[in-house]
Amino acid sequence: MQDSEVSANRPPNSNFSSAVFLFVMTLGYAVFAVDRSVLSAVLSTMEKSFGASTAMTLFLQSSQFIGVFCFVFVAGHLSDRYGRWPVLTAGVVIFTVFTWMIGFATNYTEAFVFRLISGFGEGIFWPVAMAWVASYFGWRKGLALGIFYVGFDIGSSGGLAIGGLTFAFYHMWQPAFFIAPSIGLLVFAGLPFVRNDRFNAPADERDGLKIRLGREALDLIKKKNVLLLMLFAFFATWASIWQTAFLPLYFNKVAHFSVPYAAFMTIPILASGAFGKVILGGTSDRWKRNRLLLVISIVVISFYAIFFEATNFDVDVLAALGMGFFSGAIFPILQSLIVDTCGAVRAGTALGLTTSAQSLGAIFSATFAAALSSLGVGKAIALNAMIPTVVIIVIALLLVEPRIPKLKVE
């Protein structure tokens, strides 16, 4: 049986263990997002505290993305070869502990280093969790990954709320980093319950396939669709990362909202994205994912144009909700398509490739915004969103939907 058949013909478990498994993975992704977005909420106050320039402040966000990039491919490969549970657990420990450490930073350099190392943990967790979810739920992977990605929106909203509330109460940025990672303790409590799943085992034990570092990735990259999906992942992340990394800063510096209000204004947009991921992710299990990505990309650039050009507040809010709904849905559909292309057995390695591209896109996005900061925060962020969105529309036209065998009902 081919890899794609393993994924396509394995129906999702419909019992309590499936719900527990997906809950633990989603909660882990929520903690990942809390770690990331709590910084966004207090970024402008950290800038003042460290006496940093705007460019340095924007680059502080890049430190985490650099850390993620260093480990996403290696982690995905190792999880295919040696099993997913130990690799994933290591990631949770690292990004939780070093997010705590940021609260103890006394200068910009310390904050940068702690943020970098917390990114190592996120890079370890991210592709492994996605590969495990995609493999576990097989032909319903679009819906399952959509639900999994909701964890990012819940965590991002939670991180923004924690950052905004703690600053409102304490008028300091440090307490946010002491409170936010505590949610990781709940993930530790849930990890023993998912340890015995079949797709936790090394690939050679599951399907008689030995995964080889480097050679396996090169074989996958030779596939045109894989290379296109990596490019799509890079540009789509470049186009969207500002919503979690810089949107509170945009509201604070361009719309002149207070720090707490700017943080809370971002939450409805993230909530809109959560609905988009579940609804459109589930839709992708029934429709062609490549065509759905094309339609979504066109809609996204339309909402971006309205958001950055509108002068009416109500229109701006509606556009923001629209861009959240559609842009967030891109990623579970993208990840489902790469697993369809490469097969469930190689899911960790395949997702390591796309998440590496995403991490590189996040680094580039933050660096590009910092480089354009002399134009003003508003113009820098607008260009940072619009330019790559045009590119993903072109790439989406070239994507191919692989032939996946229909589910066999016995």
CATH of the domain at 159: 1.20.1250.20
Chain centroid to CA 172: how far?
28
Most confident of 68-82, 177-191, 230-244: 230-244
Whether residue 339 lies inside any domain: the answer is: yes
Tokens for 398, please give them.
Answer: 């070239």
Q: Residue range 260-273: average pLDDT?
A: 76
Judged by phi (left if over 0) then psi (alpha if -120 to 50, else beta), residue 138 lies in left
Structural domain contains residue 403: no
406 lies in some domain: no
Q: How far apart are the first and last CA of the chain?
A: 17
State pLDDT tens for residues 188-238: 888 887 777 666 766 555 554 455 555 666 777 778 898 999 999 999 988
Distance of alpha carbon 254 from alpha carbon 247, whole angstroms: 10
For residues 9-29, average pLDDT: 73
pLDDT at 6: 41
Give a yes or no: residue 407 inside a domain.
no
| pLDDT at position 246 over 50 | yes
Q: What is the H or E stretch that residue 226 is in?
A: helix 224-240
Is pLDDT of 4 > 60?
Answer: no
Which range of residues forms the domain containing residue 71? 3-398
Q: Please choose, from the candidates 381, 388, 170, 392, the residue with its C-alpha nearest in 3D space to the C-alpha of residue 260.
A: 170
In a domain, 217, yes or no: yes
Give the Cα separation of 204 and 208 in Å (integer).
4
Look at residue 145 and tell me whether its pLDDT is greater than 70: yes
CB 289 within 8 A of CB 333: yes
Q: What is the CA radius of gyration of the chain?
A: 20
pTM (predicted TM-score)? 0.77
Task: Enter the tokens of residue 319.
Answer: 């556009």
E-assigned strand segments in 100-247: none
Q: Which DSSP state fits 285? A: T
| Whole-angstrom distance, CA of residue 399 vs CA of residue 410 | 33
Six-digit token pair at 331? 């990623």
Q: Is 408 contained in some domain?
A: no
> Residue 385 in 3-state DSSP?
helix
| Greater pLDDT, 272 or 35 | 272
Reference 2, options 350, 409, 344; nearest CA is 344
Domain-embedded: residue 409: no
In-domain check, residue 88: yes
Residues 120, 98: Cα–Cα separation, whole Å: 10
pLDDT band at 373; cut points 50, 70, 90 = low
Residue 339's contacts (CB-CB under 8 Å, 6 or more residues apart) are 7, 131, 134, 135, 141, 347, 350, 351
Provide the number of structural domains found in the chain: 1
C-alpha distances in Å from residue 199, one per residue of 93, 128, 240, 383: 21, 11, 31, 42
The reported pLDDT for the residue numbered 407 is 43
CA 57 to chain centre: 21
